[in-house]
Each structure stands twice: as C-alpha cells, then as structure tokens.
A and B are shown apart, each in its own frame.
Chain A
Amino acid sequence: MAGHGSNVHSAELASRPGRDGLMSALARWTFISVSLAFLAALLFAPLATVFVTAFGKGLGPYFASFSDSDTAAAIKLTLITAAIVVPLNTIFGLAASWAIAKFDFKGKSFLITLIDLPIAVSPVISGLVYVLMFGLQGWFGAWLQDHNISIIFALPGIVLATLFVTFPYVARELIPLMEQLGNDEEEAAITLGAGGWMTFFRVTLPKIRWGLVYGVILCNARAMGEFGAVSVVSGHIRGLTNTMPLHIEILYNEYAFVSAFAVASLLTLLAVATLVIKTLVEWRTGYRRRR
C-alpha cells in the first residue's frame, strides 16, 4: 500500500508536462462536475432530505418525536444490542488478528474467507439462519418453548443476528494492519522476558490502537443500523423488539414522516460521526485500509 490518493499534491499535478492546454482544462472540469453531479443526486440530496424532513415542521415536532415511549424503547434496545455485540466482536477481532497476522499456518486464507462470509451473505439470510434454529418450527423451537425461553422475537435473537452481520468488521480492520506492522517488536519483547499478555498490552495494542478504534466504531455503526437481519428475527413488537431502524420503518409506513426522519437523523449523525473518526484515524496514521 504505497502511495494513495489523499497524498497527491497540487504541485506534483501542476508539474506534468502538457497539462495546461484547453483540452486538459476541459477534461478536468468535466470529470469534477460529473463526479459532483452524480454524488449530489445519489448521496447528498437524500442526506439533506433526511434533515429537511425531520425539521420540516420546526424544532418542536422534531424533539417531540423522541418523547414517544415506543421511540425511546427503540433507542434503548438499539443501545443495549450494540453494548453486547460490539465488545464480543472486538474480542473476536483481536483474537482472530493475533492468530492470523502473527502466525503462519495452513488454511489461513480459507479462514479469512470464512470470516468475511457474513459480508457477502444477504442480511435476510443472516436473520433466517437463526429463525431456522430457534424459531417455533426450528430445530430447538419446541424445546425452547417447553422451557419458556424466547430467542426469536426477543432480545437474544436480535443480538445473535446483529452479531452475525457485524462479525468481520473489527477483524478485517486489524488483520491487514497487524500484518503490515510485522512481528519484530513483539519478538523482541518476548525475547527480553515479557509475558504474552504484557507484550500484547504494552507493545501490540499501542501500535494498533487507531485501527482498532476505527474497527470498533464501524462495527458499532453497522450494529446500530442493521435492518434486514434484525427485521427477520425481531417480530416487530412495538416498544419491545423494535430497534431504531425497524422503528423508522413502522413510523414511515404510518406516514409519521417527521418522526421517521427524526429517528433517521440520529442514525445519520452516527454515520457522519463514524466517518469523521475514520478520517481522523487516517490522518493520524497515514494508513488507508484495504477492503
């Protein structure tokens, strides 16, 4: 990952020979305006409409949207789900990246492919698999009902589906970063007598902390925003099993547009905050992650 886009300097661009003609100015102007027009229509207009509709009837109705008890319950459920899922996937990401980046073993690339699998799988399938296992007609359905345990249409199902969908994010961030940083310092620490945990906390963690921060933030954004998978397992019980994205759907289908877009504006702000942190991390490390 040598040079990358963000580091092209205008001085370098200007120094190219034969780049000051009318044609090249025209090409430049065309490329920039086509790019901006495409992004404006597809991305900026929808983003703006979220806030314009949310605040369309003034500040009062905007804030009144959040005093609704079902909305408050949806926000709470989303926060609880993220609070369970993100730490689990962070621990997994750290373990997976240590095993994969620090050691050479057979079937490593196959293991990476399996870790990436949830990204390629449709969110609907991510929810479906848990319904097939724990749903009423699923493998453990009858047993669970006999023992009065609810997983599907309850919090555990929502947590499991979210866990599945956001599974690879921290690991994907850390594996290339740790591979790039190498093992030299860890090996030195071990040779000098440090224990494994001490090496991890005092040597590895400080090196990877910014990548870890971004991985965790991204995992969190995906966890709070997941719709398809959660929709399949949630059962859409108002005030009980509705997360924020599901609540947006209900409000939208009831034509409560101000409320729907008000809740959407919170998730949009979360996405913006995620991107701001990502940009800060990239400036800080000069490292652009691979996909």
Chain B
Amino acid sequence: MSFRQPSILPGFGLTFGFTTFFLGAVVLLPLTALVVRTAMTDWHHVWDVVSSARALASYRLSFGASLLAASINAVFGFIIAWTLVRYDFPGRKIIDALIDMPFALPTAVSGIALTAVFAQNGWFGKYLEPFGIKVAYTWIGIVIALTLIGLPFVVRSVQPALAEVQRDLEDAAETLGAGRFYVFLRIILPTVLPSLATGFTMAFARAVGEYGSVIFIAGNLPLKTEITPLLIVIRLEEFDYGGAAALGFVMLLISFVMLLTINLLQAWGRRRLVGDRR
C-alpha cells in the first residue's frame, strides 16, 4: 500500500508540494488561528458572546432567512431549470447565460441595487407600500437578497440532472396510461432529487455566510434585522477579538457540517445515477 499509484507522468512532488503548501499558508493556517483564538479566550466570555440574546436573535434570523430563501430557490430554481431544459423560446440562451449573474456580480452591487428597487420610493417598493408591505430594511428584504445570491446554485445543480431524465421512460409511462403528474412524481422527481437537495444545501450554505448584499437591505437593527456575520464585524470593531473569533467558530462549524452534507448528497446522487444505468 503506497501513498500514490505509480504513474509515468512527472511533477507529482512539485505540484502536490506546492498545492499543500499554498493551501496550508492561505487557508488552513488562518483557519487554525481562528480555532486556537477561540480556545484561548476565556470560556465564560466565549459562552456569553455565543449565547447572548443578540447572538441568538442573529442565528435565528440568519438560519431562518437562509432556509426560507433556499426553499424559495428550490421551487423557482426547479421551475426555471425545467423551463430552460424542456422548452425553447426566444432568448432562452441569453436567459440561460444570465442565471450565473448573481455569481459574477459583486455582492455590494446586488445589495444597493435590490435596496433601490425595493425601497419605499423604488420601482417595486412604491407599489408594495400602499399594501403595508415593507421589504427594504425588514427581514423580507434579507430573504430576497439571499434568494438572489442562491438562485444559480439550484438552477445549475438541477439543469444537468433534468437533461438526463430518460425521455423514453416518460413516454413508456404515458403509453401505459400514467398521467403527467404521476410521471412527474414517479420518474422525474426521483431522478433530480439528489441534485435538487445538493443545490438547496449549497444555496443555504452560501446564504448563511452572506454579508455584502444583505447589509444594505437589512436595516441592521440589533435583535431584529442583524445577521450573524454583521455581529462578527461589530465585535471586531469593538476590538473584542475573542468574541468575534467565538462567533466565527460557531459559523465555521456549521459551514463544515454543510460541506460534509453536500458531499454526502453528491455521493448519493452518483450512486443513484449508477443504479439507473444498470
């Protein structure tokens, strides 16, 4: 049992060495600093910061809004992916390319743009205002910002899976008398479910940590519209490094669990795909 399979290609030592060195220096060492800093901080202080009313309210908001945004994305992302894969219409290719926009657009830009559109005098805000619906500077605004940045993750996960649904299976089912809805439930949904779950988790993970696009539209009131990443920034500005590190550590733990979940979901998806082909 050796560390690596033999190969005639050269350069493993150089590239592997550089990769691990750079990874260690840029990513792992700083993240270790965060963990060590949390561990070195007085435990009572860590507990006070992590379990303060303000922190608890921020977890509720960050996770609640992210969960809601990811759910909205699961529904509309699926509809958009379906539209792009199954129907042809003028401008389809342009729409398809624009799906990645939230991924390429700086978060500060989407933040101020969404705020401008949904503020009281904005294009949409002025029509929502008479109904008493306030979007900007409330939790609704946060959900909208998080929905925007999570959308490409769901669409791009579901799209290839939808394209791989075997159309002859659908046709066979319909020939045998299955209705459209039954075909959707028993053939299409099972095929795309792992990808949909992966996209949902990615959108959720991204939303929980999001900062730039949220702080403009959120209003940032403590206990009400203050997300956890903002609370970290506030602790840091108060030079409470230990408190900031502790909050960061909590978020890091959660990110790590999400990443693990994504990998498990992807493994699940691969297994199902292999099963399909047998």
Question: Which residues in A have some Cβ–Cβ distance to B below 8 Å?
Answer: 1-6, 8-10, 13, 16-18, 23, 27-28, 31-32, 34-36, 38-39, 41-47, 49-50, 53, 91-92, 94-96, 98-100, 102-106, 109, 111, 113-125, 128-133, 135-139, 160, 163-164, 167, 183, 186-187, 190-191, 195-196, 199-200, 218, 221-222, 224-228, 231-232, 244-246, 248-249, 252, 257, 260-261, 264, 267-268, 270-271, 274-276, 278-279, 288, 290-291
Top 9 nearest A-B pairs (CB, nearest first) are A225-B106, A122-B209, A227-B212, A129-B30, A46-B113, A105-B4, A228-B211, A196-B10, A99-B15
List residues of chain A with CB within 8 A of the CB of B151. Answer: 42-43
Most buried by B among A45, A116, A122, A160: A122
Bound together, the chains give a CA A31 to CA B116 distance in angstroms of 28
Cβ B28 vs Cβ A41 within 8 A = no
Per a CB cutoff under 8 Å, which of B81, B86, B106, B251 touches A226? Answer: B106
Q: Which one of A120, A133, A226 lies within 8 Å of B30 (CB-CB)?
A: A133
Q: How many chain B residues touch A (Cβ–Cβ < 8 Å)?
A: 103
Check A121–B212 contact: CB distance below 8 A.
Answer: no
Provide the bound-state CA to CA distance between A120 and B253, in Å: 11
| Interface of chain B, main secondary structure | helix
Contact of B117 among A45, A92, A121 (CB under 8 A): A45
Q: Is A99 in contact with B209, judged by CB distance below 8 angstroms?
A: no
- Which B residues are closer than 8 A to A by beta carbons? 3-5, 7-12, 14-16, 18-20, 22-23, 26-31, 33-34, 37, 76, 79-89, 93, 95-98, 100-102, 104-110, 112-114, 116-117, 122-124, 144, 147-148, 151, 153, 156-157, 159-160, 162-164, 167, 171, 174, 180, 202, 205-206, 208-212, 216, 229-230, 232-233, 236, 239, 241, 244-245, 248, 251-252, 255-256, 258-259, 263
By the criterion CB–CB under 8 Å, are B27 and A34 in contact? Answer: no
A31 to chain B, nearest CB (A): 5
Q: Is the CB–CB distance between A138 and B108 below 8 Å?
A: no
Are A124 and B211 in contact, CB atoms less than 8 angstroms apart?
yes
Q: Which of A28, A34, A227 has the most C-beta atoms of chain B within 10 angstroms of its own C-beta?
A: A227
A-B contact pairs, 24 of them (CB 8 A): A1-B160, A8-B88, A17-B171, A28-B87, A31-B79, A42-B144, A45-B123, A98-B11, A99-B16, A103-B7, A104-B4, A120-B209, A120-B256, A121-B31, A122-B232, A123-B211, A125-B232, A129-B33, A131-B236, A132-B244, A164-B27, A191-B8, A226-B106, A271-B109
